[in-house]
Homo-oligomer: A and B are copies of this chain.
Amino acid sequence: MSSYLGVGVSPGNVPVYHSTNVNVLDRRIKITELVLRCVILGLGVLAAVLVGTDSQVKEFFSFQKEAKFTDMKSLVFLVVANGLASGYSLIQGLRCIISMIRGRVLFSKPLAWAIFSGDQVMAYVTVATVVAAGQSGVIARVGQPELQWMKICNMYGKFCNQVGEGIASAFVASLSMVVLSCISAFSLFRLYGGNKTKNVLVG
């Protein structure tokens, strides 16, 4: 497993990079990645279920009206984005587990590019949808009196609270996605660290 670094390190050379340190770092990154992917999977499903199953029926004098998440476009996007993020995290988490079992370190640039691109897209998509839903949620809670948009949360209290919980869990999921996108950027771009050759050849 550690042979990928030990190849050329003859005893006479000054060991600039200790293979054990690198392995420890790689292991920690892999574990952090796996934990974050599980967090996103769990919170993404939670957010989608909380918002997607939310509804409240309110009786007015002569008729009744139901509040559903489909009344607000941004909540539909939130549910879709969190469903996507969960499925994506499931696939990536499985890949993570397989590479941990096989003890492989990521050296393939195309694969690293694919993971990096996917993570970047998912990070911005989850952040964007949670912000849009949060923006609608704030208007729903406090209203926008200058524009005659009334707050509706005093009418649909239970509905609003459950949406709020969904947005909160989607928010944590999107933060995890942002951290993950930094990790995958690290995993990709360190493959391009050609300039370090100076240190090695001097020794």
Interface residues of chain A: helix, strand, loop or mixed (majority) = helix
A sample of 19 inter-chain contacts (CB < 8 A) reads A7-B202, A8-B198, A9-B197, A17-B197, A22-B194, A74-B135, A105-B195, A128-B131, A132-B135, A135-B136, A139-B139, A147-B152, A149-B149, A185-B186, A185-B189, A188-B189, A189-B190, A191-B196, A197-B200
A63 adjacent to chain B (CB < 8 Å): no
Interface residues of A in 1-38 (CB under 8 A from B): 4-5, 7-10, 13, 16-17, 22
Tell me which of A4, A13, A149 has the highest count of chain B C-beta atoms within 10 A of its own C-beta: A149
Min Cβ gap A144→B in Å is 7
Partner of A194, one of B146, B149, B193: B193
In the bound assembly, the distance between CA atoms of A150 and B148 in angstroms comes to 8
Which of chain B's residues have a CB closer than 8 A to the CB of A101? none
Chain A 29-55 near chain B by CB (<8 Å), digits 1 or 0: 000000000000000000000000000
A127 adjacent to chain B (CB < 8 Å): yes
A60 adjacent to chain B (CB < 8 Å): no
In the bound assembly, the distance between CA atoms of A105 and B196 in angstroms comes to 12
In the bound assembly, the distance between CA atoms of A152 and B150 in angstroms comes to 14
Which of chain B's residues have a CB closer than 8 A to the CB of A105? 195
Interface residues of A in 153-203 (CB under 8 A from B): 178, 182, 185-186, 188-198, 200-202
A186, closest chain B residue (CB): B189
Min Cβ gap A100→B in Å is 17
